[in-house]
Amino acid sequence: MKNTVIALILAALTLALFGTTPGLAADKPQVIRFGQPSSSYGKPLSSGPMGEIQVKDLFDEEFKRDGIKLEVNYIKAAGPGVNEALSNNALDFGSIGDLPAVAGFAGGLKTRAVAATRGGNTYVAVPIDSPIKTLKDLKGKKIGISLGTYMHAAALKILQDNGLTPKDVTFLNMDNSTLSTALATKQVEAGFLGSDALTLRTRGVARVLYTTQGKSVYYQNAGALIVRESFVKKYPDITRRFVKVWVKATALHSQNKLASQKLDTRVGTPLTTIKEDQAGQPIHYVNSPKFDEQWLSHDRRSIALFKTHGLIRRTFDPERDWIDRSFLNAALKDLKLEKFWPDYDANGNPKK
Partner 1 sequence: MRLQTIKNKLLGLVVPILLLVAWDFVTRRELFSAQLLPPPKMLFETWWDMQTSGELALNMKISLLRVAAGFSLGALLGFSTGVAMGTWKTVDNYLGPLFNGMRQVPVVGWLPFLVLWLGIGETFKIAFISLGALVPMALKTYEGIAAVSPSFLEVARVFEFGRFRQLTRIVLPSALPSILVGLRLSLSEAWMLVVGAELVAASAGIGNTMTVARRLFQTDVVLVSVIVIALTGFVMDKLLGQIEGQFLTWRKTFDPR
Give the interface with partner 1 as residue ranges (CB under 8 A).
Answer: 80, 83-84, 87-88, 100, 103-104, 106-110, 142, 147-148, 152, 170-174, 182, 187, 311-313
CB of 143 to partner 1, least distance (A): 9
Residue closer to partner 1 by CB (options 83, 211) is 83
Please compute Rg for the chain using Cα positions.
Answer: 22
Distances (CA, A) of 173 to 131, 145, 151, 163, 240: 23, 5, 12, 22, 37
CB of 74 to partner 1, least distance (A): 18
Residue closer to partner 1 by CB (options 182, 274) is 182
CA distance 332 to 350: 18
**Cα–Cα–Cα angle for 65, 94, 190, rounded to 5 degrees:** 145
CB of 316 to partner 1, least distance (A): 14
CA distance 231 to 29: 9
CA distance 196 to 274: 10
Residue closer to partner 1 by CB (options 262, 313) is 313
Residues in the chain: 352
Residue closer to partner 1 by CB (options 87, 265) is 87
CB of 165 to partner 1, least distance (A): 13
Residue closer to partner 1 by CB (options 113, 247) is 113
Phi-psi region of 189 (alpha: psi -120 to 50; beta: other; left: phi over 0): alpha
CA distance 208 to 123: 7
